[in-house]
């Protein structure tokens, strides 16, 4: 399996393959760029069909983290860890310990945090074996003391970004009365759905995990739809909040929404889909810009937590997106392309 010739290899500084026979660990750690600082990025655990799929995800996600931190003006680079396996069945204490030791051997070039399939509790266990762990510190916010879980901050940033997007595309000052299709109601998706509903939006929700969908359906006044139906709904906005690559040649022609703005990483299956969305008049909020609230929160956990400062920084996501949308209109270029060029000015 070649890494250097992989389509998603983008001059990554380091790609590490980790294994431990006793615990069953099989993982890939990709460090994309450390020019701004150490590479910080979450650890995703997922039953990837092939090793190539895991490598591809690690390469794409780590690159996205570089651009995310640059756009958020954070002194961090981009990295990501992916673990091959079902977190409900394959995760165990030995696996987490082996992964922590693998991170530690990188000497601080990569800092690990939680992501899909891993938890704050997992990171707290790993901290016994490496200091290069983030997102584990309890902090005081406006509504009390919380764990290091960055998902509420991610959801708030996406909410801020959605308001900026609908203002730009639909001329709305808020989301009241808007129809929103939300794909994925995990920790971030559900937190976002709560905010949207409280702000008066009408929601349609789905998730491939039935237990998560049932929980959300009990809590929200939302319409539940099957996973495949979410793309073709006649709504104002589509919010991808699950795994990536959901905007592809099959789903894109079905979209009726005027705006795509959600929490998922790498929402576009290929870079060319950015241009196709633009040609169809669909405003795309580049994912690594709109979902940066979590890494902003984690950065402040590491450098001295100030809730007011964190909130101000996250609310800057709306300003960044507004500038991206403005430049895209002026230059007649897709928003993702504009975001990339802006981010590259900072690293």
The residues annotated with a catalytic role in the active site are 80
Produce one character per residue of 171-208: b if its CB has 16 or more CB atoms within 10 Å, e if not. eeeebeebbbbbbbbbbbbbbbbbbbbeeebbbbbbbe
| Count of C-beta atoms within a 10 Å radius of residue 226 | 9
| Count of C-beta atoms within a 10 Å radius of residue 222 | 22
Handedness of CA 138, 140, 141, 143 (dihedral sign): positive
Question: Would you say 222 and 205 are in contact if contact means Cβ atoms under 8 Å apart?
Answer: yes
Produce one character per residue of 318-347: b if its CB has 16 or more CB atoms within 10 Å, e if not. bebbeebbebbeeeeebbbbbbbebbeeeb
- Of 185, 184, 161, the residue nearest 289 (C-alpha): 161
d(CA 89, CA 199): 38
């Amino acid at each position: 399996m070649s890494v250097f010739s992989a389509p998603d290899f983008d001059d990554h500084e380091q790609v590490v393959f980790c294994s431990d026979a006793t615990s069953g660990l099989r993982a890939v750690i990709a460090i994309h760029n450390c020019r701004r600082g150490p590479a910080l990025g979450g650890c995703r655990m997922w039953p990837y069909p092939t090793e190539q799929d895991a490598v591809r995800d690690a390469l794409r996600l780590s690159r996205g983290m570089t651009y995310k931190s640059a756009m958020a003006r954070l002194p961090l680079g981009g990295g990501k860890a992916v673990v091959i396996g079902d977190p409900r069945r394959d995760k165990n204490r030995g696996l987490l310990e082996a992964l922590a030791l693998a991170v530690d051997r990188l000497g601080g070039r990569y800092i690990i945090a939680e992501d899909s399939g891993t938890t704050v509790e997992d990171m707290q266990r790993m901290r016994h074996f490496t200091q290069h762990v983030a997102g584990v510190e309890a902090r005081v916010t406006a509504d009390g003391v919380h764990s290091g879980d960055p998902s509420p901050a991610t959801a708030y940033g996406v909410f801020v970004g959605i308001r900026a997007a609908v203002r730009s595309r639909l001329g709305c000052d808020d989301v009241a009365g808007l129809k929103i299709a939300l794909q994925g109601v995990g920790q971030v998706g559900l937190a976002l759905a709560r905010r949207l509903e409280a702000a008066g939006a009408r929601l349609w929700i789905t998730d491939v995990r039935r237990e998560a969908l049932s929980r959300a359906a009990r809590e929200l006044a939302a319409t539940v739809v099957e996973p495949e139906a979410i793309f073709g709904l006649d709504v104002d906005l589509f919010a991808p909040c699950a795994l990536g690559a959901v905007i592809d040649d099959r789903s894109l022609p079905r979209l009726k929404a005027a705006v795509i703005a959600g929490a998922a990483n790498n929402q576009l299956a290929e870079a060319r889909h950015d241009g196709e969305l633009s040609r169809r008049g669909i405003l795309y909020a580049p994912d690594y810009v709109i979902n940066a609230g979590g890494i902003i929160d984690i950065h402040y956990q590491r450098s001295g937590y100030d809730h007011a400062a964190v909130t101000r920084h996250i609310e800057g996501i709306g300003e960044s997106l507004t500038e991206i949308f403005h430049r895209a209109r002026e230059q007649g270029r897709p928003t993702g392309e504009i975001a990339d060029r802006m981010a590259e000015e900072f690293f």
